[in-house]
């Protein structure tokens, strides 16, 4: 009989876990005792285990594998759970459904890695080691951002991406849907956004500043039904899809579709074929604000996420300085300079989201420039996290030197094309504490967590996405869920965990 898997292989590491002798065997006779409200968790367990194990896990009041909501476990929070495995019974309990969904990923990891295979695995006994696990995340935000604007990926791949996020108890899938180089979200009231803005003539092949292009048209857009189905798929795995619609910069694709939204209404622009910061931005006239609200109404219809990301970064204000209507707008709003239109614009749109019961999110340039009701993603400098949190913003730490997966993970010259400059190695990701060292308790309490970023200027295929994402995302998930700082312990667990990634067919970095 093979030895049961050690608890020491789990990624992320559980808060408290004790292994006991013996195991529970899942087989054709195993039935689920499903408590009231736990049905979606049972459904997920079956869905995840069926391909490899072929187990039906039928419901039965006499089932020895129990899934139950237990209000008595309220102190474990939204995502915490308790798992007890004995030779003759399994009991997974949580105060909330999301906790059960997290516990199911733990059960999945406790089984032999073959349980994660997409194809039937014959001859593997499905043993769960006897154990007691009580598990609560340290941070409420453990995210992963994927840029589908620079290079489009079909929704079938996004489902797989979500599957692997959920395995790691990542709870936010941040979908970067619009940028200078492409608009991927359909908007019924503004069909040219995807008809025109969803396609570019070609792409620059080197980094910003290089003058070579591939000559290959690139395009793609989702249907509303595809996005809605992705949201449901992710929700069934306890993952929230947070959409990002960039404004007032990073909008060249929208301006190509609707020139009247810009500062030179008669100008005709292409969907951008270069990388970097584009100096064409939205105008600040009423039509533009109405446009943004119309787009966001449709976005909110598709995405129930409490958070809606408005981008906001890298917005050159030169066009406003040279535009008479923009200067008039600034004066009418009592702003001292056209540059101040940036905060004003985001304030207008942020207020709109707040009135609709949503929370605006923006990328920080300094941590001090966004309206106070914004949740801030800090990326440029570690000090911005402290600045934003001290100002009173909820903050998500996305510091580029620790979380940008578009940077190479080693200085090996054979690494595929990446953002030049910084190497972001596995250890840097694991060492990244989202909470700044100098934060007092109140400030620290505003740091919601961390997330990885995958900008896709140089990343065109799912294989390349997975190579850049794994195993670095495992490190962020481990740190974000457990707060574990022990590098050697993480490396040891990861050594075992790679068998799971391999069973899933993830084309990871070695
Ligand atoms: C960013 O890297 N533009 C947030």
pLDDT tens digits, 350-362? 999 999 999 999 9
Instruction: List domains and CATH numbers for the chain.
Output: 7-135 (3.30.379.10), 141-503 (3.20.20.80)
Catalytic one of 314, 373, 415, 496: 314
Name the phi and psi angles at 130, rounded to 5. -65, 135
Has residue 366 got a pLDDT over 60? yes
CB atoms within 10 A of CB 240: 19
Rounded Cα–Cα distance for residues 190 and 181 (Å)? 18
Q: What is the mean pLDDT of residues 131-154?
A: 98
Has residue 240 got a pLDDT over 80? yes
Catalytic one of 151, 218, 250, 432: 250
Ligand 1 lined by 365 (C-beta under 6 Å): no
Contact present, 72 and 80 (Cβ < 8 Å): no
* CB contact burial 216-234 (16+ within 10 A = b; e otherwise): eebbebbeeebbeebbebb
Residue 227's pLDDT is what? 98
Ligand 1 lined by 314 (C-beta under 6 Å): yes
Has residue 4 got a pLDDT over 70? no
Verdict on whether the full-model pTM lies above 0.85? yes
Ligand 1 lined by 246 (C-beta under 6 Å): no
Contact present, 313 and 376 (Cβ < 8 Å): no
Q: What residue has token string 């409490």?
A: 306
% of the chain residues with pLDDT over 90: 94
Residue 369: both structure tokens together: 């420039």
Ligand 1 lined by 180 (C-beta under 6 Å): no
| Confidence class for position 207, pLDDT limits 50, 70, 90 | low
Rounded Cα–Cα distance for residues 152 and 175 (Å)? 11
Q: What is the mean pLDDT of residues 242-250?
A: 98
Residue 7's pLDDT is what? 54
pLDDT in tens, 34-79: 999 999 999 999 999 999 999 999 999 999 999 999 999 999 999 9
Three-state secondary structure string covering 82-130: EEEEECCEEEEEECCHHHHHHHHHHHHHHCCHHHHCCCCCCCCCEEEEE
pLDDT in tens, 74-124: 999 999 999 999 999 999 999 999 999 999 999 999 999 999 999 999 999
Q: What is the mean pLDDT of residues 390-405?
A: 98
How remote is the CA of residue 363 from the centroid of ligand 1, in Å?
7
Contact present, 110 and 153 (Cβ < 8 Å): no
Catalytic one of 70, 79, 147, 179: 179
Residue 105: both structure tokens together: 């990923």
pLDDT in tens, 399-428: 999 999 999 999 998 888 888 889 999 999
pLDDT in tens, 453-493: 999 999 999 999 999 999 999 999 999 999 989 999 999 99
279 is catalytic: no
Residue 421's pLDDT is what? 82
Q: What is the mean pLDDT of residues 134-158?
A: 98
């Amino acid at each position: 009989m093979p030895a049961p898997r050690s608890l020491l292989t789990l990624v992320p590491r559980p808060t408290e876990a004790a292994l006991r002798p013996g195991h529970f065997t899942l087989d054709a006779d195993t039935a689920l005792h499903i408590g009231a409200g736990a049905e979606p968790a049972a459904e997920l367990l079956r869905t995840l285990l069926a391909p490899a194990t072929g187990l039906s896990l039928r419901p039965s009041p006499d089932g020895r594998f129990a899934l139950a909501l237990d209000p008595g476990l309220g102190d474990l929070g939204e995502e915490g759970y308790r798992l007890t495995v004995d030779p003759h019974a399994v009991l997974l309990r949580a105060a909330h459904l999301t906790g059960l969904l997290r516990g199911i990923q733990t059960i999945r990891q406790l089984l032999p890695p073959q349980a994660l295979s997409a194809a039937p695995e014959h001859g593997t006994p499905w043993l769960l080691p006897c154990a007691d696990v009580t598990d609560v995340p340290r941070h409420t935000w453990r995210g992963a951002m994927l840029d589908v604007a620079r290079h489009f990926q079909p929704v079938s791949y996004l489902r797989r991406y979500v599957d692997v996020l959920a395995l790691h108890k990542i709870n936010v899938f941040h979908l970067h849907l619009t940028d200078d180089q492409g608009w991927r979200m359909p908007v019924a009231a503004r069909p040219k956004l995807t008809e025109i803005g969803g396609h570019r003539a070609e792409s620059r092949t080197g980094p910003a500043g290089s003058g070579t292009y591939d000559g290959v048209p690139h395009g793609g857009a989702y249907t509303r039904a595809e996005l809605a189905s992705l949201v449901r798929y992710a929700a069934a795995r306890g993952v929230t899809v947070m959409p990002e619609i960039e404004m007032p910069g990073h909008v060249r694709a929208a301006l190509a579709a609707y020139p009247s939204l810009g500062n030179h209404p008669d100008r005709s622009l292409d969907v951008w074929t270069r990388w970097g910061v584009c100096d064409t931005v939205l105008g600040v006239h009423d039509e533009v604000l109405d446009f943004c609200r119309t787009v966001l109404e449709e976005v909110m219809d598709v995405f129930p996420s409490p958070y809606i990301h408005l981008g906001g970064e890298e917005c050159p204000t030169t066009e406003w300085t040279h535009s008479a209507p923009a200067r008039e707008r600034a004066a009418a709003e009592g702003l001292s300079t056209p540059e101040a239109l940036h905060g004003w614009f985001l304030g207008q749109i942020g207020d709109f989201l707040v009135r609709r019961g949503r929370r605006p999110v923006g990328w920080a340039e300094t941590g001090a420039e966004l309206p106070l009701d914004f949740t801030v993603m800090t990326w440029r400098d570690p000090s911005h996290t402290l600045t934003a949190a001290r100002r009173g913003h909820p903050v998500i730490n996305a510091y580029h030197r620790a979380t940008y997966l578009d940077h190479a993970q080693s200085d090996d010259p054979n690494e595929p094309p990446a953002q030049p400059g910084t190497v972001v190695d596995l250890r840097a990701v694991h060492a990244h504490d989202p909470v700044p060292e100098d934060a007092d308790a109140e400030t620290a309490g505003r740091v919601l967590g961390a997330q990885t970023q995958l900008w896709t200027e140089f990343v065109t295929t799912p294989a390349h996405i997975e190579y850049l994402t794994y195993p670095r995302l495992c490190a962020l998930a481990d740190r974000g869920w457990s707060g574990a700082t022990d590098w050697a312990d993480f490396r040891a667990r990861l050594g075992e965990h790679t068998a799971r990634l391999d069973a899933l067919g993830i084309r990871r970095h070695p």
